[in-house]
Amino acid sequence: MVSTVDALATQAGIDMLRRGGSAVDAAVAANAVLTVTLPNQCGLGGDLFALISTPDGGVATMTAAGRAGSRATADGLRAQGHSRMPLEDPRSVTMPGCVDGWLAMHYRYGRLPIAEVLAQAIRYAEDGFPVSAFAAAAISKRARTSPDAAAMTIDGELHGGRMTTRPGAARVLRALATGGRRAVFEGEFGDGLLEIEGSPFTRDDLAVDQSAWTDAIHVDAFGGQLWTAAPPSQGYITLGAAVIAEHAGLGTDPESPEWAHLLIEAIRQASWDRPASLYDGADPAELLSETRLRARASAILPDRTTPLGDTYRPGGTTFLGVVDADGMAVSLIQSNCMSFGSGIVAGTTGIWLQNRGIGFSLEPGSPAELAPGRRPPHTLAPVMVTNPDGSVRAVVGTRGGDSQPQVVLQLLARILLSGQDPAEATAAGRWILRGTGDETSFDTWGYGGDVRVVLEGQVPGEWATGLRSRGHVIEEAAAFGHAFGHAQVIVSDRGVLFAAADPRSTSGSAAGY
């Protein structure tokens, strides 16, 4: 089974499985297609996190999170009057981790040649592909200010279903398929990274592999073992919130306002100190300690919001899931950070570079302060659920910046506690939190503890009244909005696979064979 945000990517993954490839082959093939068809959401200029189930019942974590360049300094930005990382600026560009992540995963778990795995993506980039309505709208908007986006359009406009090509991306993918990492970072793409005006990188930076196999972190909650990536991923929030919600007495009726209230309060308790707690090297054992989580659960009130008071301190992403015939599962998330990332293209490649550096702090002495070689706090947070015997029960993830743990928590509660199938769970109305001045999905926790609860149009009618009566500040939004995530879910139930691709993306596809 393969579930992605784009039918072309899903079919590329299925094709790898039919050819005898592993779940990793399928995941890399699908991700490679997505880097071509969804340049607004992901690409070779972004990072990657993945969870992979292993034969011994464990979970391996690929952390392909790029580091700040050798010329990146907080002092320079502060001297220019910046108190926060700028959004579209070369100093917010970190080294892309995607290529290194693919190669490391494929080297350990792949069965098919890397050239075969990348072939579909190369073909779409060279010969053309039909653009989804979502991507077409984003490309048309970016085309007003970006010649690289304009080159994908017809007279500045691109409509869903129209064919377009990505010749620069094709050249880089072909270089990777034939010459490996060296051909990418010592070739056209690497040159483009160095030629950025004000580039934070040196040639030595490009020689450093940005991937690392790290230990997955896990908790027991909702009747399963929940796994995610360790910091700098924010995945600990999903796990911590699940434990907190369970301790707070979360029920099984997702129609109830109390269900929504307890999950919202659990996320608030798990996330309120994220700006101070999440950084490269943060200790997951401390973040998920039973003492810490029980104390936060005990602060939750069933009939009103918990004031956080003085204790509070101040996209563009795609997720895919794969399960193969041997039971190996991959939960993979890959991203530009914001839509089109930094807005900066690597030379002549037409590949946008991430602005993942916006996760850094400019506060002197902060453990998340921008510094050469440091990885920024990361919103990417894939999740996998296993049974007591180590077999895979579910693969879950979504795009959404700070709201990723919020959406995944709701999906886990619906599937694991309420027994909903993937289609019902993904289509159900959601809530997401926003800071009081937050207009993006990357700064929810920067407003002194004040958050708004934004309700999707198809949530149960009792939610708005019930949550307002408990003290939540409520906003109501249209049904099936992009802001509420593009989730992918695969569930294994007694050896039968069920999957759903989020209808909010309008182009998603879940398929098996």
Q: How confident is the model at residue 315 (pLDDT cuts 50, 70, 90)?
A: low
Cα three-residue angle 504-505-511, rounded to 5 degrees: 105
Instruction: Report residue 400's pLDDT band, with 50, 70 and 90 as the boundaries.
Output: confident
Q: Which of 359, 391, 413 is the last residue of a domain?
A: 359
pTM over 0.85: yes
Residue 312 has pLDDT above 50, yes or no: no
Same domain, 272 and 303: yes
Closest of 398, 428, 451 to residue 270, by C-alpha = 451
399 shares a domain with 298: yes
User: What are the beta bridge partners of residue 345?
Assistant: 352
Q: Is the pLDDT of residue 313 over 50?
A: no
Taking the alpha carbons of 242, 248, 251, 254 in that order, is the dihedral positive or negative? negative
Report the percent of the chain where pLDDT is more than 90.
86
In a domain, 366, yes or no: no
Domain end residue (candidates: 359, 390, 413):
359
Give the DSSP H or E segment for 425.
helix 422-427
**Bridge partner list, 319:** 333
Considering the domain architecture, whether residues 311 and 344 belong to the same structural domain is answered as no
Question: Both tokens of residue 225?
Answer: 């073992």
- Domain match, 277 and 129 both: no
* Residue 171 maps to a domain: yes
Beta bridge partners of 157: 154
Residue 283 has pLDDT above 90, yes or no: yes
pLDDT digits (tens, 9 = 90+) for 206-228: 999 999 999 999 999 999 999 99
pLDDT of residue 438: 58
Once rounded to an integer, what is the mean pLDDT over residues 455-482?
A: 95
- From CA 415, how far away is CA 422, in angstroms rounded? 7
User: What are the CA-CA distances from residue 204 to residues 70, 186, 362, 376, 495 (Å)?
Assistant: 9, 11, 25, 20, 48
Running DSSP on this structure, what letter comes out for residue 436?
T
Over range 416-428, report the average pLDDT. Answer: 96
Mean pLDDT score of the chain: 93
Secondary structure (3-state) at 435: strand
pLDDT, average across residues 276-289: 94
**Residues 387, 343 share a domain:** no
Residue 96 lies in a domain: yes
Per the domain annotation, does 374 fall within a domain? no
- Give the mean model confidence (pLDDT) for residues 416-438: 91
Q: Is pLDDT at 309 greater than 70 in this prediction?
A: no
SS3 63: strand
Tally of domains in the chain: 2
Q: What is the mean pLDDT of residues 296-316?
A: 73
9 pLDDT more than 90: yes
Identify the band that residue 277 occupies on the pLDDT scale cut at 50, 70 and 90.
very high
What was the pLDDT predicted at 307? Answer: 78
Residue 364 lies in a domain: no
Q: What is the mean pLDDT of residues 62-87?
A: 94
Q: Edge-to-edge strand order for the sheet containing 2-4?
A: 212-215, 59-64, 47-53, 329-337, 316-323, 2-4, 509-511
Q: Are residues 156 and 42 in the same domain?
A: yes
Q: Are residues 404 and 487 in the same domain?
A: yes
Indicate the helix (H) or strand (E) that contains 225.
strand 224-228
Contact 214, 229 (CB under 8 A): yes
Span 180-190, mean pLDDT?
97
Q: How confident is the model at residue 310 (pLDDT cuts 50, 70, 90)?
A: very low
Q: Are residues 245 and 338 in the same domain?
A: no
For the segment 435-462, the average pLDDT, to the nearest whole number, is 79
Is 185 inside any structural domain?
yes
Whether 65 and 378 have beta carbons less than 8 Å apart is answered as yes
Residue 378 pLDDT greater than 70, yes or no: yes
pLDDT at residue 306 in the model:
87
Residue 371 lies in a domain: no
pLDDT confidence bin for 494, thresholds 50/70/90 = confident
User: How is residue 493 written in tokens?
Assistant: 């139930």
Quote the pLDDT of residue 314. Answer: 32
Residue 84 to residue 314: CA distance in whole angstroms: 12
Dihedral (CA of 506, 508, 510, 511) sign: positive
H/E stretch holding 193 reads helix 188-195
Domain boundary among 292, 327, 359: 359
**482 burial type by CB count under 10 A (0-12 exposed, 13-18 middle, 19+ buried):** middle
Mean pLDDT (whole number) for 55-66: 92
Q: First vs last Cα of the chain: how many Å apart?
A: 7
- Shared domain for 143 and 43, answered yes or no, is yes
Annotated active-site residue in 35, 63, 228, 317: 317
Q: Is pLDDT of 448 > 60?
A: no
Rounded CA gap, 445 and 273, in Å? 8
Contact 372, 73 (CB under 8 A): yes
pLDDT at 457 over 60: yes
Domain membership of residue 372 (yes or no) is no
Q: Averaged over 156-168, what is the pLDDT? A: 92
Instruction: Assign residue 410 the CATH number of its domain.
Output: 1.10.246.130
Please confirm, yes or no, whether 178 is among the known catalytic residues: no
CA separation for the pair 51, 317 (Å, rounded): 16
Read off the pLDDT band of 440 (50, 70, 90).
low
Helix (H, G, I), strand (E, B) or coil at 474: strand
**Cα distances (Å, whole numbers) of residue 368 to 95, 209, 225, 440:** 17, 21, 29, 20
User: What tens digit of pLDDT does each residue of 327-340 get?
Assistant: 999 999 999 988 89
Better pLDDT: 273 or 229: 229
Examine the domain organization and report whether 506 and 472 are in the same domain: yes
Tokens found for residue 425: 């769970």
**How far is the C-alpha of 29 from the C-alpha of 510, rounded, in Å?**
15
Q: How confident is the model at residue 273, as a pLDDT?
A: 87
Answer whether residue 22 shows pLDDT above 50: yes
Both 87 and 57 in one domain: the answer is: yes
Residue range of the domain that includes 65:
2-207+319-359
Do 140 and 230 reside in the same domain of the chain?
A: no
Contact yes or no for 4/121 (Cβ under 8 A): no
Mean pLDDT value across residues 336-363? 93
What per-residue confidence (pLDDT) applies to 311?
38
